[in-house]
Structure 1
Amino acid sequence: MTDTKKNPMKLRKPFFSRRKQQPEPSKTMPDITATHPVRRWYRPTLLKTVMVALALVIIVPTHANGQFGIDTAAIIAALQKMQSLMSTYMAAPLKTINQSEQSISSYEQQVMYPLTAINQAKSSITQFESQFTNINNMFHVNVSSATLPQSQSFETTLLSRNASNVPSVSSQYQSVYGVVMAQNTASPQVRTMTDMTDAQAQDAMKRALQIDALAESELTAATQMGQQISQAAPGSAPILEAEADIWVVRANAYTQAALAELMRTRGIDLANQSKTSKLAASDNINNNGVVSGALTNR
């Protein structure tokens, strides 16, 4: 049996409105129009109906559901449930913590750091700073009293409160008080005692110059601390207090150094007195020997 799909004599139907030229019947080919009538393009077929239905399904808009297919009522219910849980398990503890913090803050503002007391303390510090300024001006009053050129220069160096002038003290001291006696002009004991006295006097003057410079630095630091305290916040007061304590320790150390220098000066003074007594005793022995020899020779 001949396959109808491979039959060359099968009449092909056009899909669209285009019409094909019908081959002229030949004498050798049988007339197929008699057995297969020609169908028009607009006549419905199953394939055309399916394709039209698919096109309508694609083109015609349909109802869209938002939220990726999740119902809005379900979302609202979930949000309300979440809000209820947060109000029950989070809002209440946070409210308690907030009340505790407010109580602590109120206690600090009214009891520990009251604003009235802070302002009063700042006002007192300002008054103290004014008094300290007056004291500082009194500390810088000129007390120079020398009249001669060499002594005036030496006095200016000793009262300069500048530690860099310490090396020039020795030369200026010698220009004012002189040097140790020559070897043949005094006994070795007197020369030694004089040299030691001059050395201790110069040491005391140098130490006094250093202590004046330290006192000047301390006054400057105290003035700066007072200004900072008058403008500082209450929380920074312990820091400034600790720094002030450090300066107090330093001031005590400087005072101890000055006291030690005074003790050395007093010691050299006592040593000079002792040396003077010893020299006097030695001179008396020599004089007694001379008198005894003179009387014996008679």
Structure 2
Amino acid sequence: MTDPKKNPNKRRGSFFWRRRPQLSLEPPKPAPLENGASAVQPWYRPTLLKVSVVVLGVLAILPTHANGQFGIDTAAILAALSKMQSLMNTYIAAPLRIINRYEQSTAKYEQEVIYPLTAINQAKNSVIQFENQFSQVSGMFRVNVSSATLPQSQNLEALLLSRNAANVAILSGQFQNVYGVVMPQNAASPQMRTMTDMTDAQAQDAMKRAIEIDALADAELNEANQMGQQISQAAPGSAGILEAEADVWVVRANAYTQAALAELMRTRGIDLANQSKASKLATIDNTNNNGLINGALTDR
């Protein structure tokens, strides 16, 4: 009788899956049966290899004890955080509280002493009142002061009071229509013609400059009105900027005033020069007359 464990034709089942048995060219010989049992063993029969593999798989999937925080103790972390919080409260929070208290005290001082709300509102109301008064005063500059009655003189007067710098170019023609041109060459002496020409030129220059200064005055008044409106609506922090702009316009106004003063001085200088010239001409005429009289007496 052959031992079934040593039978070469024994069919063995696979561990994880069933493999197809290799077909032999020769038909398998039937193994002799012992006590009527089959020689083929079932696939679920336990073996040492199967049991070992199952035990290793179970051990691999069983949960084990884990230590969190990469092995660092939680109590140590909490202690370090508590120590850090204590240091921050001592060296950072305390100075910040002092700084915050100083800032609150400074802000309170600025709001109650330097920039009190009541004083700011009073200043704004005063600016509004001043602007209303300035508006009434500026209306006085628009009062009609024309006085000429003849057509030619009315045209010249309209140009002089136009407050429009574009009319400067056409003033010479209107001036000649009213005051005439320099006398012809044979109608007066060269000295008289030169003095007349210079006097007419300076008179026209003064009239042109007066028109320009009126136009500049209008521009300054308009800018002053805009500044007044901005000041009445501006925040306290922007008052310095508006004040600086107002100072710039004051400097410009002084420059325009100096230009007008220079023109007045030129006009006065021409007037004095004309008086001096008239005295010189009178002296020359007297000298000529004396020579004629002496010549007439000598011939006798």
**Shorter-normalised TM-score: what interval?**
0.7 to 0.9
Say whether the 8 Å CA contact 2:206–2:264 is kept in structure 1.
yes
Residues 147-189 of structure 1: CA deviation (Å, up to 9, x unaligned): 2222222111111112122111111111111000001111111
2:232 to 215, 218, 230: 230
Count of aligned positions: 287
Q: Which residue of 2 aligns with 1:215?
A: 217
Q: Which residue of 2 aligns with 1:9?
A: 8
What is the CA–CA distance in structure 2 between the aligned matches of 1:264 and 1:137, rounded to whole Å? 31
Residues 259-281 of structure 1: CA deviation (Å, up to 9, x unaligned): 11111111111111111122222
TM-score by length of 1: 0.83
Q: Which residue of 2 aligns with 1:170?
A: 172
What is the CA–CA distance in structure 1 between the aligned matches of 2:72 and 2:48, rounded to whole Å? 39
Say whether the 8 Å CA contact 1:200–1:265 is kept in structure 2.
yes
The 1:141–1:50 alpha-carbon spacing in structure 2 relative to 1, beyond 3 Å, is farther
The 1:50–1:261 alpha-carbon spacing in structure 2 relative to 1, beyond 3 Å, is same
What amino acid maps onto 2:237 in structure 1?
G
Say whether the 8 Å CA contact 2:11–2:41 is kept in structure 1.
no
Q: Which residue of 1 aligns with 2:3?
A: none
Residue 229 of structure 2: SS of its match in structure 1?
A: helix
Residues 89-141 of structure 1: CA deviation (Å, up to 9, x unaligned): 22112111111111111121122212111111111111111111111111121
Query: After superposition, where does 1:231-270 map in structure 2 within 5 Å?
Result: 231-270=233-272
Residue 239 of structure 2: SS of its match in structure 1?
A: helix
What is the CA–CA distance in structure 2 between the aligned matches of 1:245 and 1:296, rounded to whole Å? 76
What is the CA–CA distance in structure 2 between the aligned matches of 1:162 and 1:63, rounded to whole Å? 100
What amino acid maps onto 1:11 in structure 2?
K
What amino acid maps onto 1:252 in structure 2?
N
In the alignment, structure 1 residue 25 sits paired with structure 2 residue 29: yes
Q: Which residue of 2 aligns with 1:97?
A: 99
In the alignment, structure 1 residue 144 sits paired with structure 2 residue 146: yes
Identical pairs, percent? 70
What amino acid maps onto 1:147 in structure 2?
T
What amino acid maps onto 2:53 in structure 1?
M
1:194 Cα shift?
Answer: 0.6
RMSD between aligned alpha carbons? 3.2
1:81 Cα shift?
Answer: 3.8
Q: Which residue of 2 aligns with 1:51?
A: 53
The 1:12–1:172 alpha-carbon spacing in structure 2 relative to 1, beyond 3 Å, is same
1:209 Cα shift?
Answer: 1.2
1:193 Cα shift?
Answer: 0.9
What is the CA–CA distance in structure 2 between the aligned matches of 1:32 and 1:82, rounded to whole Å? 85
1:41 Cα shift?
Answer: 3.3
What is the CA–CA distance in structure 2 between the aligned matches of 1:288 and 1:33, rounded to whole Å? 189
Say whether the 8 Å CA contact 1:25–1:31 is kept in structure 2.
no
What amino acid maps onto 1:135 in structure 2?
V
In the alignment, structure 1 residue 288 sits paired with structure 2 residue 287: no
Q: Which residue of 2 aligns with 1:3?
A: none
1:55 Cα shift?
Answer: 4.1
Q: Which residue of 2 aligns with 1:4?
A: none
Q: Which residue of 1 aligns with 2:186?
A: 184
What is the CA–CA distance in structure 2 between the aligned matches of 1:79 and 1:207, rounded to whole Å? 83
What is the CA–CA distance in structure 2 between the aligned matches of 1:92 and 1:50, rounded to whole Å? 68
1:220 Cα shift?
Answer: 1.3
The 1:142–1:8 alpha-carbon spacing in structure 2 relative to 1, beyond 3 Å, is farther
What is the CA–CA distance in structure 2 between the aligned matches of 1:186 and 1:263, rounded to whole Å? 29
Residues 220-272 of structure 1: CA deviation (Å, up to 9, x unaligned): 11111111111122221122111111111111111111111111111111111
What is the CA–CA distance in structure 2 between the aligned matches of 1:189 and 1:42, rounded to whole Å? 149
What amino acid maps onto 1:223 in structure 2?
N
The 1:8–1:152 alpha-carbon spacing in structure 2 relative to 1, beyond 3 Å, is farther
1:82 Cα shift?
Answer: 3.6
The 1:25–1:289 alpha-carbon spacing in structure 2 relative to 1, beyond 3 Å, is closer
